[in-house]
Structure 1
Amino acid sequence: MSGTRREVPNDPGRRERILDAALDVIAENGVHRTTHRRIATRAGVPLGSLTYYFDGIDDLLAQAFARLADTMSRFYRRTVQRARTLAEAEAAVVELICGPGYATKRDMTLIFEMYAYANHNAAVAATTRAWAHRSRESLALHFTPGASRALDALIEGWPMHRAFDDAPLDRELVAATVHAIVAAAQDESGEPRS
């Protein structure tokens, strides 16, 4: 007979389910009220499973935030990557800012929690830096480095403001702002517009 019980997991999706449950608990309660017990209950796993997969609550939270950043980065890249022209790339940026798929209310709650926790946790701070780098790399598929940095700030910042505003974003204003940033950065770089 090959393999030990440790080599053959009886619940192969358990680790990911725990991470997803951790994000749910954080979104509902905040990092400060997230506990092993709440996560285990939400994931439907024995409490001991958390210590099997993670080296304490800080490790679990760091890995959960890394999962969030990775999921959002992949969505961000797919959205930008589909654009074939500069105008389509600008429209993709507007969709990231205004559309329903990216930076949902839940996402924004988790992002606020992640940024606050990053001030006290080096692993989460590294995750946030890597996420910003990945975002700018995605934007660089179509835009200059300067435009990519400015657009990423808009994509991060405007949804934060939207989270607290009573009115929806003005899509035309967002599109005009995106276009102005791209045009100014392209003009300064001397690169031709596609």
Structure 2
Amino acid sequence: MTQESRPGGTRRGRRNEPGRRDTIIDACLDVLAREGVAGTSHRKVAAQAGVPLGATTYYFDGMDGLLHEAFTRFATSISDRFERRMTAAEDLDAAREAVVAIVLEDVFGDDRDLVLSHELYTLAARKPAFRAITSAWMARSRAALERHFDAETTRMLDALIEGLTIHRALDAEPRDPGEVRAAVARITRASGLQH
């Protein structure tokens, strides 16, 4: 009997243990954060997850399949945080403060998020299949911003969020959080949507 791929990446003929697939995806993100894409292997992911090596190939079609699932989970988690902030904002001032909080707290909430983001960006620059993940991430971010800002301002804010977050994370000197608030205020001056 041949092993055909099933929806969700599993194969016929083997036992599907509940939660194991999720455990492998989470372990892959841990290995990616520690080793980068170049240092990530099925063996390292299996060891991190505490599963047999064959489990990684049972649930995923090759390393690209596993990386795609892991980076999709990561990007979705960042987008979810972003959307929650913007959805909770009830007016333009609250939306501006939400953008500030996204830069200061959410996008790269810690060094792990920063590393994973940059690993994803580098992979997406090289492999178009991964560009779909970053494109979906950007589309969700813009849709969340467009609840409060016009399309042109949204594009500028999206770039500002990305740029400021990277600069703040990689700058050797601590940055004044007030500069984030000032930049958001400048870009969004007279640009909010009427509610």
How many residues are treated as equivalent by the alignment? 183
Partner of 2:4: none
Q: Is the 8 A contact 1:118 1:124 kept in 2?
A: yes
Q: Give per-residue Cα distances to partners, 1:84-131, cap 9 Å, x unaligned.
A: 1110110010011112x4312111100110010112222211110111
**SS class of match (2:38):** helix
How far apart, in 1, do the equivalents of 2:80 and 2:174 lie?
25
Q: 1:57 is matched with which residue: 55, 63, 66?
A: 63
Q: What is the deviation of 1:137?
A: 0.2
Give the alignment partner of residue 16 of structure 1, picking from 11, 15, 22: 22
Partner of 1:39: 45
Aligned residue number for residue 163 of structure 2: 157
Q: Counterparts of 1:113-192 in structure 2 under 5 Å?
A: 113-183=119-189, 185-186=191-192, 192=194
Looking at structure 1, the residues matched to 37 and 136 of structure 2 have their Cα atoms a distance apart, in angstroms, of 21
Q: Shift of the alpha carbon at 1:62?
A: 1.1
Q: Among the aligned pairs, what percent are the same residue?
A: 44
1:102 pairs with one of 101, 104, 107:
107
Higher mean C-alpha deviation, range 17-26 or range 165-174:
165-174
Once residues 14 and 158 of structure 1 are traced to their aligned partners in structure 2, the CA distance between those partners, rounded to angstroms, is 37
Q: Return the match for 1:84 from 87, 90, 100.
A: 90
Q: Secondary structure of the residue that 2:126 maps to in structure 1?
A: coil
Contact 1:36 1:47 in 2 (8 A): yes
- Are 1:48 and 2:30 counterparts? no
| Cα RMSD for the two superposed structures | 1.8
* Structure 2 Cα separation of the partners of residues 133 and 169 of structure 1: 28
1:8, CA displacement in angstroms?
6.9
Taking the aligned partners of 1:6 and 1:76, their CA distance within structure 2 comes to: 40
Q: Distance in 1 between matches of 2:14 and 2:66?
A: 22
Paired residues of 2:107 and 2:165 also in contact (CA < 8 A): no
Q: Deviations for 1:143-170, whole angstroms, at most 9, x for unmatched residues?
A: 1111111111111111111221123332
What TM-score does the superposition give when structure 1 sets the normalisation length?
0.88
TM-score by length of 2: 0.88
Q: Unaligned stretches of 5+ in structure 2?
A: 1-11
Residues in 1 aligned to 2:175 and 2:153: alpha-carbon distance in whole angstroms? 21
